[in-house]
Amino acid sequence: MASHKSAEKRNRQATVQRMRNRAIKTRMKNVIRLVDEAVAAGSVEAAQEALKVAIPVIAKTGCKGTIHKKNASRKVSRLTKRVNNMQAAA
């Protein structure tokens, strides 16, 4: 239990930030899942549309510091590569 006023404030701030980060990460995971499902279904058109939605969400998550910028970049790169490989195969 925090006994200093500043420590109590940091606890409150950490709680709010943790909830915010959880919501942002959940949103990011959901858009990634939509891309993965479209790729698994073999739908090129749906995969491209899902990727267009996913890229800004992932980039924003990285820019806000919820995940590392390079982690966000890596996720975007891997998703893009999956969709492009699917296009080439079709």
How does pLDDT run across 18-68, given as a tens digit for each residue? 999 999 999 999 999 999 999 999 999 999 999 999 999 999 999 999 999
**Amino acid found at 53:** V
Domain boundaries, the chain: 5-89
pLDDT confidence bin for 90, thresholds 50/70/90 = confident
pTM of the model: 0.88
pLDDT computed for residue 47 by the predictor: 96
Average pLDDT of the residues in 77-90: 93
Q: What residues contact residue 63 under an 8 Å CB cut-off, 6+ apart? A: 69, 72
Q: Which residue has the tokens 């996913």?
A: 54
Q: How far apart are CA 62 and CA 41, in angstroms?
A: 28
How many Å apart are CA 34 and CA 42, to the nearest integer? Answer: 12
Average pLDDT estimate for 12-17: 97
Q: Which of the following CATH numbers is that of domain 5-89: 1.10.3720.10, 1.20.58.110, 3.40.630.180, 1.10.260.40? A: 1.20.58.110
